[in-house]
Chains A and B, each alone.
Chain A
């Protein structure tokens, strides 16, 4: 048997492609991050930039461990505000969406108000909210809620209105009540839209919780990570500032991962967005 000079290329040993792909998906980003961190570290060490301008990754890690006692309560406060405002936004967004689609007139009357609330920058409303709210924590909660609530509302309204007309006809034909149509048809049909709203709202809730805290200028023991960021800046404690930033990023990634997972759990059996293309 003779081998053509071209054949060895095609005769590579078969590696199980699925496993290989999964490994690559994990290792490639990890390696890239590691390389970037190394370059950062080497760059800082070689150039001799002072720590109060750009700390090395090691210094940041060190600050994270050393200041954990200060940072962790702040992280917890920010997490609580973010999650509480997201929960309120979910209840409010879905509730108001259901209310809005009940009739053309209700939508016509109230939708513009929700749009005004959305388009006015939160930083601009924050001072007012601070005056009216009984405490800074409540003010932060209201700010974060206002920001997170709109994407959930507008996606839900869209979802509730995008129900297949023939399915609506079918429900009419079988004499379904309004409540039955809502529970068995409109809500499940708008689940993909709700999940989009949840993912956007989750990210915005965190951003709003931080921005609102900046605007509120809260300080002291009960403050969140935004205050610790500003505090570290004033004191030129840049490693701690980076550490606080790192924690915020981790929180954001965690929220994104959890909301994406919930979305996958709810949709993977039936919705196109969660399915692999079969060709």
Chain B
């Protein structure tokens, strides 16, 4: 038995998921990435991060630590000042991006108000030249997975904040990406909706085996969702700590009240405080 087999076996025993060997391979490799804005601000400094297939990675850190910038750079939105981003298991297009393999969910739902829910979810397929008729089954199936099958003909303005976010997630999933990038997607939602959507995202992750990189500033959210947490430090943005988060329990309502979750939150919280250390001094 090889080392990676052992790791796979132990992680599947611990969190109930069963990632296959192939999925544990590196999906995206950031190597010493530095990002400097034209204003001279260094958003990221020498950041290295390897995300493996099937992981649920949270990027956690104080505001200004560059976690959103890191996510955008992975998505190819904006250039790096130095360093490289590699996609070992994807086909690369002319822009150096694994085009069909990544999807992005923004902090706002970012829907087109003139399109129905159906039209909004159709967008990524339309841009590939797939007609509405040809994409219908695919779109309806995706809407069903986020519980919006009956709202295909509704316009975004007719939906609640949580439902809009679901449309945004459906749009991200409709291309069946390998990697889902989420930039504080639920930060603007109320606590109840947020917990529900957290459960939905976890379920999707388990069912589809998709890899998720999730930017958040919430300790509780990251401790609840992640299989691995990357805590970042600000000014300049860099990785402060990077550790797996295994649980023996199924992550559900019971987990939220368990001792194990409380401890996970405490660990994450302490690491975050460390990362912010010295910053509060002035």
Contacts and interface: CB of A to CB of B under 8 A. Distances in A.
Interface of A: 164, 166-167, 169-176, 180, 184-185, 188-189, 191, 269-272, 275
A171 B115 CA distance: 15
B16 interface: no
Given A170-B104, A270-B155, A175 B112 contact: no
B103 to A, nearest CB: 8
A173 B76 CA distance: 7
Contacts of B103: 173
A174 B123 contact: yes
Q: Is the interface of B mostly helix, strand, loop or mixed?
A: loop
B108 A166 contact: yes
Given A166-B108, A275-B157, 18 more contacts: A166-B106, A167-B110, A167-B112, A170-B123, A172-B77, A173-B75, A173-B76, A174-B128, A175-B99, A184-B123, A184-B126, A185-B112, A188-B112, A188-B115, A269-B155, A271-B113, A271-B114, A272-B157
A129 B110 CA distance: 48
Contacts of A189: 112, 114
Contacts of B128: 174
21 contacts: A166-B106, A167-B110, A169-B104, A169-B106, A170-B106, A170-B110, A171-B127, A172-B77, A173-B75, A173-B76, A174-B124, A174-B127, A175-B95, A175-B97, A180-B127, A191-B114, A269-B114, A269-B155, A270-B155, A270-B157, A275-B157
A189 B113 CA distance: 8
B93 interface: yes
Interface in B83-130: 93, 95, 97, 99, 102-104, 106, 108, 110, 112-115, 123-124, 126-128
B77 A175 contact: no
B213 to A, nearest CB: 14
Contacts of B156: 270
A173 B102 contact: yes
B128 to A, nearest CB: 8
Contacts of B126: 184
A275 B155 CA distance: 13
A36 B4 CA distance: 91
Interface in B160-203: 175
Contacts of B93: 175
Nearest to A167: B110
B77 A173 contact: yes
Nearest to B75: A173
A251 to B, nearest CB: 31
Contacts of B76: 172-173
B243 to A, nearest CB: 30
B124 to A, nearest CB: 5
B114 A175 contact: no
Nearest to B171: A170
A173 B73 CA distance: 11
A184 B99 CA distance: 19
A191 B115 CA distance: 13
A164 B113 CA distance: 11
Nearest to A267: B114
A167 B106 CA distance: 10
A203 B75 CA distance: 47
Nearest to B183: A166
A168 to B, nearest CB: 10
A225 B255 CA distance: 80
A172 B126 CA distance: 14
